[in-house]
Amino acid sequence: VQLQASGGGLVQAGGSLRLSCAASASVSIDDMAWHRQAPGKQRELVASITSGGSTNVADSVKGRFTISRDNAKNTVYLQMNSLKPEDTAVYYCAADYHCSGYDCVGRDWGQGTQVTVSS
């Protein structure tokens, strides 16, 4: 699965950004997710969404970030509102996939997009 993320950038605290991640694949895409990694910290899950639309959002961003997806386009979005300086990180999208008959399963990652929130 090839994942192409976009939408990162520099924004002031309180602002908004929308990240997009499009998956190109000849396999079936299952759960999709956004993770982030700040300098000196471990990568952490921000939000995930199943193919059926069920979502899971980290407590640190709950009420501010919304994850959604367009299955027809194999694209996942992350709407980020009320951004804080502590949201500064490289954001990575991930997609779980499987082949017909589950002959193959796995997870692939996008290249990451930088989000910087200034105070």
pLDDT tens readout for residues 60-107 = 999 999 999 999 999 999 999 999 999 999 999 999 999 988 889 999
Query: Which tokens is 112 given?
Result: 């990451």
- Sorted by sequence, the CB contacts under 8 Å of residue 116 that are 6+ apart come out as 9, 10, 11, 88
Instruction: Return the structure tokens found at 36.
Output: 């982030």
Q: Judging by beta carbons within 10 Å of its beta carbon (0-12, 13-18, 19+), is residue 92 exposed, middle or buried?
A: buried
User: What string of DSSP letters covers 61-106?
Assistant: TTTTEEEEEEGGGTEEEEEE-S--GGG-EEEEEEEEEE-GGGS-EE
Whether residue 59 has pLDDT greater than 90: yes
Instruction: Tell me: pLDDT of 26 over 90.
Output: no
**Bridge partners, 52 (sequence order):** none
